[in-house]
Amino acid sequence: MGEQLGTGAGNRHAVVIGGGIAGLLAARVLAEHAVRVTIVERDRFPEEPGQRAGVPQGWHTHVLLEGGQRALEELLPGVMDELRASGAPRVGMPEDMVQCHGGRWFRRTAATSPLYTGTRPALEHLLRRRVLADDRIATVQGTEVVGLLGDAARVRGVLLREKGAGAGTRPLTADLVVDASGRGSPAPRWLDAIGAERPDEETIDTGLAYATRVYRDGSEGALADCLGYYLLPGPDQPYSGGVIPIEGGRHLVTLSGLRGDEPPTDGAAFEDYAKRLPHPIVHDWLRLARAESPVRGFRGTANTRRRYDRPGRRPAGFLVTGDALCAFNPIYGQGMAVAALSALALRDALADRRRTPTTRRVQRAVFRASAQAWAISSGADKKMPGARGNALDTPAVQRPAAWYLGRVQARYTGDPVVGRAFRSVLALVDPVTVLFAPKVARAVLFAPVPATPPEPPLKAEERAG
């Protein structure tokens, strides 16, 4: 795996497996280093924004964190203006959202961290249009990858099978293959088949399941001074619910619960399930709202990280990115941002003239792009009741930091200084070290836990009263 990647000189061909967000952005980067790039996608891309069978979570709430916004803008200049023009709602946190966590309502102070809450298909359509406008990038649609060409020393392409065409396969040779096929990636099996070594896998699974339905607000002003509601789960209160704005003046309502008490997909039972939330604000809104879709459920929300960054008998010319490398509990909204940050890491590693871009070095750079998001999601999920997996332990060396982080979480709902710093970490904009800046540390270590609103703050503070 120490050999140089197969791009950068001569007639080089790169194949990207998967045409979702991670795959599209990887292709955009590789087009600067390969003569041609081919995206292989099991689905056929819709002409207009629309759901794809290969993205079952596309029906559900997605948010684009600020770190992901910045990365997308670097990769595709002007794309954020296009996203705004497409109607994706921009939500300034904490001002624009009524939120509760751990029994405490957030103060709605001035927004310091924007996020976008438009639908996944709309964002994916925009990125597809931008990326596929590059004539160096082609697609093979309605076709699945069923194996790798090559051996344990080097991958030399992929084996394709057209969906619905029987058992026939055909080779597609390539100098570089990037797996962006998602959390269900078969790559470990493919590596077995060519005599290579599959990666170690780390998992933390809370058993969280969620269900989502599209609504229109019928509450005559309940959302007049905010854009939505979000009640977060925690170890003492495992239910979560949100009323999240999307394009066209609609809202997605997502409800979640843990293993054994999953939200139902029957409409009336779904709305009744909202009573389990720690406050009736979402249920009250639902009683007046107008449903515009069926209820759709989703399972398979484990945090899963495959350690392709570690030494092993794995071939040169094969990289993994996106959810195929590191998949998160979707409740934390990190996946799209990490896909963009991973593409940025790929770009920077390939462009670094100080170091030879070996497969291992580039894979490690892409892996590091997901490390902070993994620490956030896995750290929170370790504490949830009934969590399972082989990555639940907190090493002794990390326990002081976990204690400090607990104090941060107790204060960020009500202290604007701590809140601003913590939101920048959650948004994947700043490293965790900003939480130890002197002003933040003083508030965390010495200030009392600040007061927060006793009831849902339906007005932002600067307009309250």
DSSP per-residue string spanning 206-232 = ---EEEEEEEE--SSSTTTT-SEEEE-
Cα–Cα distance measured from residue 152 to residue 3, given in angstroms and rounded to the nearest whole number:
12
| SS3 state at 24 | helix
Task: Divide the 465 residues of the chain into consecutive groups of 10 and give the mean pLDDT of each group.
Answer: 52 93 98 96 94 90 98 98 97 98 95 97 97 98 97 97 82 98 97 97 96 95 93 94 97 96 96 97 97 95 97 96 97 96 97 90 97 95 94 88 94 97 98 97 97 96 64
Pick from 289, 254, 290: nearest CA to 270: 254
* Token pair 């794995």 in the structure block, residue: 314
Identify the pLDDT of residue 164.
77
Pick from 410, 407, 437, 438: nearest CA to 424: 437
Distances in Å between the Cα of 178 and the Cα atoms of 193, 362, 447 are: 17, 11, 49
Give the sign of the dihedral formed by CA 277, CA 283, CA 289, CA 291. positive
Contact 83/118 with Cβ under 8 angstroms?
yes
Q: Are strands 36-41 and 13-17 parallel, antiparallel or unpaired?
A: parallel
Identify the pLDDT of residue 321.
98
Beta bridge partners of 243: 229, 253
Q: Which domains does the chain have, with CATH numbers?
A: 13-62+123-203+301-377 (3.50.50.60), 208-298 (3.30.70.2450)
Q: Are strands 250-257 and 209-216 parallel, antiparallel or unpaired?
A: antiparallel
DSSP notation for 343-393: HHHHHHHHH-TTS--BHHHHHHHHHHTTHHHHHHHHHHHTTSTT-BSS---
Contact 239/276 with Cβ under 8 angstroms?
yes
* Token pair 């684009």 in the structure block, residue: 64
Cα–Cα distance measured from residue 220 to residue 217, given in angstroms and rounded to the nearest whole number:
8
Identify the pLDDT of residue 339.
98
Q: Are strands 240-245 and 228-231 parallel, antiparallel or unpaired?
A: antiparallel
Identify the pLDDT of residue 9.
43
- What residue type is assigned to position 20 of the chain? G
Q: Helix 66-75 crosses helix 335-351 at what angle (to 10 degrees)?
A: 40
Cα–Cα distance measured from residue 14 to residue 151, given in angstroms and rounded to the nearest whole number:
17
Contact 7/14 with Cβ under 8 angstroms?
yes
Cα–Cα distance measured from residue 437 to residue 26, given in angstroms and rounded to the nearest whole number:
35
Token couple for 261: 């008490």
